[in-house]
Structure 1
């Protein structure tokens, strides 16, 4: 009897190990008349015993609309049965969702818990980040921020995802950009891509690099494009002195709205593009987003991130031998043209940032004005060091600081730059922020290039540009006597087609076609968005030979 009592006492004293928090996401595509219209989502959590979290999803992200409105049939269940979910105005403390729709757990969770709901795919016509849950003929894809309802927990979880591939009516596979880590934050889940369908993929032996495509392109095969992506990844590792090859995911899907766009998230990117894109355009936007991924974690100001990405989408390609000297000059001239032809180039950067999603001319300021700033900085460094160093060297020094865990904010960048070019570092930064006219030095690109002064027309639509950046697209603020008005455009015309206004601003002399509805009739109106001439600059290639360094 004493032995039994002793054994019971020992058993009672053995600690009960808490279950490690984990999340399993299972996604099942839903079809209607052969079209993939929604995804059924089941999230199975363990290790949340006793918690009563707030659950949230974004309602909007920038111009992306109706995210929460596409969520249906939300239900929560644990070992005791259904758990009430109550609508609330609470805002998540930890979870980084935008304009949230939230639900409060009605009681404490007992045991493992399962959240179920359906997310409709987006058919909105607003252009924005390639994060929305969208389907096409061969599959479905999206970023977590645009369709996942998650709990507001300051807890890292072991996260895995899988698709029910048998639900696809065609051969299917899956890919995601979740890190292969023992545990990650739920915010990292939001910043991950998920894709499934009839994917073209790189060989498994390419790890830690993975690439997949849902889209077929006319000018290049998926095999060639994915292999080019893998080769570029390896070369960028060398260019940016990455210590070992890091996990990296590249995804391609169709863009139903504009010719091409892309977004970068930690360790991953997605390019959305129409099939008729040229090889050159596809590779340029891919390089832009790849640069973003490699520079992730540096100063997070838009002009810094986007300016560097615009500058190095072409500079990196040139340094890696993907562009000739002439092609490089043409690419850089495209950046100059977008900057000088922009009627909003003198607005302050803070104003441009505030108008990012409502005025495409403002949106280009962090990109092209930022690139101009780095072009100018490149020349300053070359001059200060008698050509021994350039922007590449200083950027890699900044990246090294980041890898050592040091601070890499905008202020740290200016401090580093000041140690090389002096107080000019702050003068150039202030000029860029205030909207002063930016003109590179003649040596900014190296000895093989010379800067020439010229003129170009400004890009001018002749009506409020916000008319084309909202849904529905209704013409407002039409200027009498403008080319658009002379071509027959009317106030309150409804525009039915979408335009890539960012790309179009580099070609103000090329016609724009608008398909408009006026009453019950549709018509196509064409006009040239060229305004008055303005001072501009362009690069010309100097005489050089193959032995001469042009970097």
Structure 2
């Protein structure tokens, strides 16, 4: 998904695999809840999308939207509808819509607005001056910025270019201000030659389940002269803007297979699953989770390796089932990122391997990129309560919930298997938690601790608190099954060679250059101005990846290239066992 250096969009997941380019997506929000799936909703929302034609430059100027909402009652001077102004530090479209008209059965509604800021978002609310009557109709236009490369930002934001437009409900839709669930219908009025997709399918389509406003925010839309792969028999829908450097049909058919495997493993196969792709040269191979689906980015120049794409998608897909613990009011959601991101980072390597969609070599690549980055991290012992304050400021802290979390869950899985003689596993905790969420129940720390205690007793609970305190996690040599064993090696620590606070300034003026560092040897100097942001998280995992900085010195621009590495330290990696009785972990 997005690069954290470009903005703080607290919604989805950070990729741990090194070779995928820029790796941060934002943190995961709640996965869809299906607790109300058998309850007939009293509310129906019909969404009519009417995008402009694709122009000669491949852009779409905007989209006219009409919402028809039945079953929503408004009272005077209370919030009726809302739309996002900002998510994290990323501006959305709530203050950019034009031609707004809100009406009900009695005619036009006079409304006032109220902007409300939460911990990681800002929303605009529309408040009527009288009680509403009957169906509410909302009409407005969302204009798009055209004629420029997509910026470093989360893929929920609207983007026009490469023959179409795309964006999530959060960036496009006004939704009811309450939390009641609705049946959602999508209708398209398309120009000639254009195709319209949503998370529910191609063309006119509708949700099989009733959705909360938060879930409607995570529904995705893409339209224009776009590529598509849609399978009505399985409910799989996918689309892409532009021309990826990989074979999109190969990737999307693989994704369809893995989504079914995830559904079977986690205990719920959704009626629809979607995957969308759009170009982002500045930050390719990153992604955002959606309502049972995801969107990811590519660059035509460097997206030719299918494995790099698959590792990204394997991670993002987990978030369609597994999310963070329920939020605690006043507590930053990053505090529980060890759970959602740790599980996603663990299952992204294990489940595709068990399903035969990753080879043993593929599995080891992902495992060792995670282990190598974790054990060479100089901040490996930072406690969990320091993750939220340092997450956006320090790449070394930012990757800990992913790497530490993945290895912690590998340890829990291994210990449960051994304690139960192979009869139970980590899934014996995760599946009941997901079932409770689908039933509308709370999924919080108390539930995690109770289920953990049931499996591993007080020893397991104590080990969990030690993990939160920053204790180094070291899975057993055979924690990943009989075909792999732990070995020792040495790796160089990630080190930019200057004070990373420099990157949070505007302009990014280098300060605190380290004498004798690779950066100094390459010619960097204090006072140099870095002209372009760059992803750091992926750099940490790749021991041989060079960093090229575009800098300005005394008014002249130049490039400086060096290996961002420091001291060599002892670390752990896994390797294959010569004689292997079984290539898979048990379920």
Distance 1:488-1:188 versus aligned 2 partners, 3 A rule: same
Where does residue 306 of structure 2 map in the other structure?
279
Match among 185, 190, 210 for residue 237 of structure 2:
210
Normalising by structure 2, what TM-score?
A: 0.79
Preserved CA contact (<8 Å) 1:378 1:390: yes
Q: Which moved more, 1:101-110 or 1:321-330?
A: 101-110
Where does residue 360 of structure 1 map in the other structure?
395
State how far apart, in whole Å, the 1-side matches of 2:441 and 2:181 are. Answer: 24
Match among 346, 359, 367 for residue 332 of structure 1:
367
Structure 1 residue 335: Cα displacement = 0.6
Preserved CA contact (<8 Å) 1:346 1:436: yes
Give the CA RMSD over aligned residues. Answer: 3.3
1:115 aligns with 2:145: no
State how far apart, in whole Å, the 2-side matches of 1:400 and 1:55 are. Answer: 31
State how far apart, in whole Å, the 1-side matches of 2:343 and 2:213 are. Answer: 29
Where does residue 4 of structure 1 map in the other structure?
none
Structure 1 residue 546: Cα displacement = 6.2
Where does residue 529 of structure 1 map in the other structure?
564
Preserved CA contact (<8 Å) 1:73 1:118: no
Gaps of 5+ in 1: 1-18
1:43 aligns with 2:66: yes
State how far apart, in whole Å, the 1-side matches of 2:494 and 2:553 are. Answer: 26
Structure 1 residue 108: Cα displacement = 4.7
Where does residue 25 of structure 2 map in the other structure?
none
State how far apart, in whole Å, the 2-side matches of 1:520 and 1:109 are. Answer: 61
Q: Which moved more, 1:344-353 or 1:539-548?
A: 539-548
Gaps of 5+ in 2: 1-41, 328-335
Where does residue 226 of structure 2 map in the other structure?
199
Name the SS of the counterpart of 1:461 in structure 2. Answer: coil
Name the SS of the counterpart of 1:116 in structure 2. Answer: strand
Where does residue 451 of structure 2 map in the other structure?
416
Preserved CA contact (<8 Å) 1:127 1:257: yes
Structure 1 residue 124: Cα displacement = 8.9
Name the SS of the counterpart of 1:272 in structure 2. Answer: strand
Where does residue 345 of structure 2 map in the other structure?
310
Distance 1:439-1:157 versus aligned 2 partners, 3 A rule: closer
Normalising by structure 1, what TM-score?
A: 0.84
Structure 2 matches for 1:181-200, cutoff 5 A? 181=208, 183-200=210-227
Distance 1:143-1:239 versus aligned 2 partners, 3 A rule: same
Where does residue 161 of structure 1 map in the other structure?
186
State how far apart, in whole Å, the 1-side matches of 2:100 and 2:511 are. Answer: 43
Which structure is higher in RCO with an 8 Å CA cutoff and minimum separation 6?
2
Count of residues paired in the alignment? 525
Preserved CA contact (<8 Å) 2:324 2:340: no
State how far apart, in whole Å, the 2-side matches of 1:193 and 1:486 are. Answer: 47
Structure 1 residue 140: Cα displacement = 1.2
State how far apart, in whole Å, the 1-side matches of 2:120 and 2:175 are. Answer: 9
Preserved CA contact (<8 Å) 1:26 1:163: yes
Distance 1:518-1:23 versus aligned 2 partners, 3 A rule: farther
State how far apart, in whole Å, the 2-side matches of 1:290 and 1:40 are. Answer: 28
Name the SS of the counterpart of 2:140 in structure 1. Answer: strand
Match among 350, 355, 359 for residue 385 of structure 2:
350
State how far apart, in whole Å, the 2-side matches of 1:469 and 1:73 are. Answer: 38
Where does residue 446 of structure 1 map in the other structure?
481
1:239 aligns with 2:265: yes
Q: Which moved more, 1:277-286 or 1:393-402?
A: 393-402
Structure 2 matches for 1:256-275, cutoff 5 A? 256-275=281-300
Structure 1 residue 364: Cα displacement = 1.1
State how far apart, in whole Å, the 2-side matches of 1:379 and 1:142 are. Answer: 40
Structure 1 residue 515: Cα displacement = 1.6
Structure 1 residue 512: Cα displacement = 0.4
Match among 158, 176, 194 for residue 133 of structure 1:
158
Structure 1 residue 537: Cα displacement = 0.7
Preserved CA contact (<8 Å) 1:64 1:127: no
State how far apart, in whole Å, the 2-side matches of 1:413 and 1:283 are. Answer: 30
Name the SS of the counterpart of 1:375 in structure 2. Answer: helix
Distance 1:206-1:436 versus aligned 2 partners, 3 A rule: same
Distance 1:229-1:78 versus aligned 2 partners, 3 A rule: same
State how far apart, in whole Å, the 2-side matches of 1:162 and 1:463 are. Answer: 53
State how far apart, in whole Å, the 1-side matches of 2:47 and 2:275 are. Answer: 23
Distance 1:83-1:462 versus aligned 2 partners, 3 A rule: farther
State how far apart, in whole Å, the 1-side matches of 2:57 and 2:212 are. Answer: 36
Q: Which moved more, 1:257-266 or 1:201-210?
A: 201-210
Match among 181, 197, 218 for residue 174 of structure 1:
197
